[in-house]
Amino acid sequence: MFSLRPLVLAAFTGLLATFVTSASADPLSKTAEVDFYRDTPSRSLKGLATRSDGRIVAGPVVSDLAGAPVKEILWSLAPSGSDRWLVGSGPEGKIHVLSVDVATRRFALESKADLEDAHVFAVLALGGDRLLAGTGGQGGLTLIEGERVLARLLLPVDSVLDLLALDDSTVLAATGNPGRIYRVDLAMLSGAGLATEKLSEPAALAAKGVTLWGEVRDRNVRRLSRRADGSVLAGSAPRGNIYAFAAGGGNPTLLVENRDAEVTDLLSLPSGDTYATVVFSPGSASGRITRPSPAPSAEKESSTPPAAGEPPTAERFAGRSALVWLPANGGFPETLATRAGVAFYRLQKRGPMLIVAAGEQGELVGYDLVERRSLTFAGTASTQLNALLPLDADRLLALRNNAPGFTLVDFGAQERRELETRRIDLGTASTLGALRFDRLRGLAERDLGVSVRTSFGNDELEGWSAWEPATERDRSWRTSSPLRGRYMRVRISAPASLPSDFAVDRGSLYHLPQNRRPVLSDFRFFSPNLALVPGAQPPPQVTTTLGQILNQPKDNPEEKRRAPLLNSPIVPAPGMQLVYWSISDSESDAVIATFSLRRDGDTAWTDVAVDTALPYAQFDTSALPDGLYFTRLVVRETSPRPASERLSVTFETDDLRVDRSPPAVIEGTATVVGDALVVTIHGRDALSLLEGAEFRFNNGLERTIEQPVDGILDGQEERFVLEIPRAEVAGASSVEISLYDAALNRTSIRLAW
C-alpha cells in the first residue's frame, strides 16, 4: 500500500474498511434504579414500609403523642396493669405512671415516686401497687408500695441495669461495674429499711434478701431474659457477649462472643428461640448514644436537669447493629440482619415480624421471619427510641429521647399512606422520562399516586422544582411536561386501606442525559516517514460468561476502535505523515471527524480525511511545498441522535511542519590535538530543529552525538563536537559526517586529516 505515491493531497492509505464501524445501536437514554429500601429515609415514611429487596410494603402509622413537655431523660418503660405503664427517668430519679389516650393520641404522666438516686435505669411492676426500681450512680434497689418507699438497698456496684421477675417473690437484678446478677427475695427486701451506705459483705446482703446469683468477667450485665426451659440469658457490655445461666445460677456458658459491643435487648419466645440486638461501636460500646453519666453521688442536687427545649445532642453514630437469633435446643447463633449507622435498642415480636426500636434518626426497623428480609418503618422526630412495648394486637408504645416523649406505632391505622425518597443522583443533568415499576401487588395502577421533583443542585432544601404529579399510561408514570435536573425525588402515595399482600416493586426511571459536546483528549503527529498498517478487527466473541455481564462495563465505541489500532505495526514509509487523535463523548454518541490543513499564508483549508470514524489519518507529503501548516479537527455527532440535536465542535490542533530540505553544513573540521582527534560539524536548517550528527570512520568505528556544544538542543543552527582518543581511530584516515534534522532530513560531508 505504501508503494502508491498519490499526487493528490490527503490521500488515505489505511485499510479503511477494516476500521469503519456502524453507528452505535445503544439507546441514548439511561435508566436509574429507584431502590426504595436504599433511597427512602425512615422519617419520610408514613403508613408504608420499605423492604430490603427494594419494595414498598404496608407499614404502621408512627405518630408522636401529644402531652405536657417532658424535661427529663426517659430511661425505662414497663407495663403496670391495663393501659398504664411505669416510666423511670433522670437525672432527678423520678418514676411516673403513664396513661395513653389512643383515640386522641395524647399521653399524661403522673408522678409515682421521687427517689434518692439520680437515674432510674430499670423499673418492674410486682403486682398490686408495688414496684421495684434499679438506679444508677449508687447501684440502688428501691422497693415501693403505693407512693411509699418500703426499702432501699445499695449494692456493691455502680448501677442496676435490668430487672427480671422469676416468680411473684423473686427477682434477678443485673448490675454494672462489676457485671453481676443478684437474686432478690422481695419478702426479705421489704424489711431491709432505707440504707444510706453500700453493703459489700455477702452475709450482710443475704440478711437483706440479696444473694449473688451469677457473675461475668465483662464490666456490665445489660439485659436479662428467661427462656422456656428456665435458663436465663444475659447480655453484656462493652464486649457484647451473650451468656447462658442454668435456672439456679452459677457459672455461665458463653453462647456469643463479641468485641466493642453492647447487648441492648434479649427477647425469649415460648418456642425456645431467643432474639438479641447487639450494637457495635468503634473503640467503645458506650459511645453508641449520647447519655449523661450517672451522678457520682446519691444527692440529687449534684445533677442539674437539662433546660426545657434543650435535649442532649447526639453525635452521629459511627458503628453498626445486628439482630441475632439463638435457636431453641442449642442451635448455633445466626445473624439475621445488620445495619450500619443505626443503634438497635429494644425488640418486640408481632406476628411473623420482629420490630426493633432504634436510634440515630429515631428509626423503627423490622425483620420478616417468613420472607427473611429487613424492613424500614416510619421514624420519629427524636433521635432515639429507647423502649418498645405492645399496647394491643395492632399497636405498640415507644419511649423516645432527644427530644423525650412517647410514640404510638399503629399497624391498624386507616390513614393516607405515602413516602418520599431522598435525593437521587442521575449523574448528569437530564430530561426525565417515564417511571416504571417491576410489578404492583394488591393495588390497581390508578390507585397509586406518583409525584416527582427535580433540582440541578445537591442542596437538600433550595433549588427544587414544585412537585409534579405523574399520570399512569401503559403501566408507566409520566409528568405532563418533561422535567429536567440532575437530582430527583419521588413521592409515592397509596390509599388508607391496603391488603396484606400489598407491594410496589423497585422502580426504573428512564432519562435522557444532557447532550454534551465531544472532547479531544489526545492529538499527536508522529515522526515523518512512518506509516501504520491497520490491524484486523478481533473476531466476535462466540461465548459470553456471566462474569463479563455482571462485572464488565458497557462497551465503549471509542475503545472498540482503539483496540485493534494499538496493535497495528508502524513501518518506515518515505514521505508519509501519520496523525492520531482520541475523542471522548460523555454520552457515548457515535462521532465522526474531518481532519484538514492549511499552509501558513493561504486561506483555503484542504480536507485530508472527511467524516471518518477512524482515530487517525495518514497522507503523503511529497506534493506539499515545504513550510508551516495549520491543522484542525472538526468532530460531529451522528445517528442515532436526531439531526436537529447533533452537536459539532472544531478543535484547532497542532501545527505541522513539512520539511524535505536537508540541513546545510556551514563548517566541518577534523583536527588532531595531542592524543585526541577532535571532529567538529557546524550546520543550519531552514525549517526544522537540528537533532544530531552521526560520525562513521573508515576503520568501521561509528559514533552519534546529539548534545550540542552550547548544552541545549534547541535551535535550527547547532555545533556538534566529537572528541575521541587517537587509539580508537588508529588506521582511519577519514570520517563521514551526517547532519540530520527533526524531519529526519540529512546531509553528509567527508573530512580527512
pLDDT at residue 285, as a whole number? 42
534 with 482, same domain? no
φ, ψ of residue 427 to 5 degrees: the values are 95, -35
Q: Of 641, 658, 675, at which residue does a domain stop? A: 658
pLDDT at residue 315, as a whole number? 66
526 with 395, same domain? no
| Residue 434 · residue 510 · CB < 8 Å | yes
Query: Which residue shows C-alpha cell 434477678?
Result: 172
CATH number reported for the structural domain that contains residue 138 in this entry: 2.130.10.10
140 with 262, same domain? yes
CATH number reported for the structural domain that contains residue 692 in this entry: 2.60.40.10
pLDDT at residue 559, as a whole number? 61
Confirm whether 621 is domain-assigned: yes
183 with 71, same domain? yes
What lies within 8 Å, CB to CB, of 154 at 6+ separation is 138, 139, 140, 141, 195, 196, 197, 198, 199
**From CA 88, how far away is CA 399, in angstroms rounded?**
11
The two beta strands, 320-326 and 334-340, are antiparallel
Q: Which residues pair with 144 in a beta bridge?
A: 131, 149
Collect contacts of 550-559 with beta carbons under 8 A, ≥24 apart.
554/26, 554/588, 556/588, 557/21, 557/24, 557/588, 557/590, 558/582, 558/583, 558/584, 558/585, 558/588, 558/615
358 with 395, same domain? yes
Confirm whether 7 is domain-assigned: no
Confirm whether 307 is domain-assigned: no
pLDDT at residue 659, as a whole number? 93
What type of residue sits at position 683? G
The domain total for the chain is 4
What lies within 8 Å, CB to CB, of 398 at 6+ separation is 357, 364, 380, 385, 387, 388, 406, 407, 408, 409
pLDDT at residue 565, as a whole number? 75
For residue 148, what are the domain limits?
Answer: 61-301+316-410
pLDDT at residue 563, as a whole number? 64
Q: Which residues pair with 279 in a beta bridge?
A: 262, 321
Burial of 543 from C-beta contacts in 10 A (0-12 / 13-18 / 19+) = exposed
Q: Of 380, 410, 440, at which residue does a domain stop? A: 410
49 with 189, same domain? no
Confirm whether 1 is domain-assigned: no
pLDDT at residue 10, as a whole number? 34
Q: How many helices (H) and strands (E) does the chain have?
A: 6, 58
Cell of 484: 429536567
642 with 574, same domain? yes
User: Which among 242, 442, 208, 200 is positioned nearest to 333, based on CA atoms?
Assistant: 242
pLDDT at residue 232, as a whole number? 97
| Residue 335 · residue 324 · CB < 8 Å | yes
Q: Biggest alpha carbon distance in the chain?
A: 128
- Low-confidence spans in the chain with pLDDT less than 70: 1-26, 283-315, 537-538, 540-543, 548-549, 551-564
Confirm whether 3 is domain-assigned: no
| Residue 78 · residue 61 · CB < 8 Å | no
Tell me the pTM. 0.78
708 with 596, same domain? no
Confirm whether 310 is domain-assigned: no
Summarised one tens digit per residue, pLDDT across range 43-73 is 999 999 999 999 999 999 999 999 999 999 9
553 with 612, same domain? yes
Summarised one tens digit per residue, pLDDT across range 258-277 is 999 999 999 999 999 999 99
Confirm whether 4 is domain-assigned: no
Round the average pLDDT of the chain to a whole number and report it.
Answer: 89
**From CA 35, how far away is CA 25, in angstroms rounded?**
28
193 with 331, same domain? yes
> How far apart are the two ends of the chain, measured CA to CA in Å?
46
Q: Which helix (H) or strand (E) holds 546?
A: helix 546-551
473 with 366, same domain? no
CATH number reported for the structural domain that contains residue 499 in this entry: 2.60.120
Confirm whether 174 is domain-assigned: yes
The two beta strands, 232-237 and 242-245, are antiparallel
348 with 259, same domain? yes
Collect contacts of 480-484 with beta carbons under 8 A, ≥24 apart.
482/431, 482/432, 482/433, 483/431, 483/432, 483/452, 483/453, 483/454, 484/429, 484/430, 484/431, 484/432, 484/454, 484/456
Q: Of 487, 513, 539, at which residue does a domain stop? A: 513
pLDDT at residue 568, as a whole number? 87
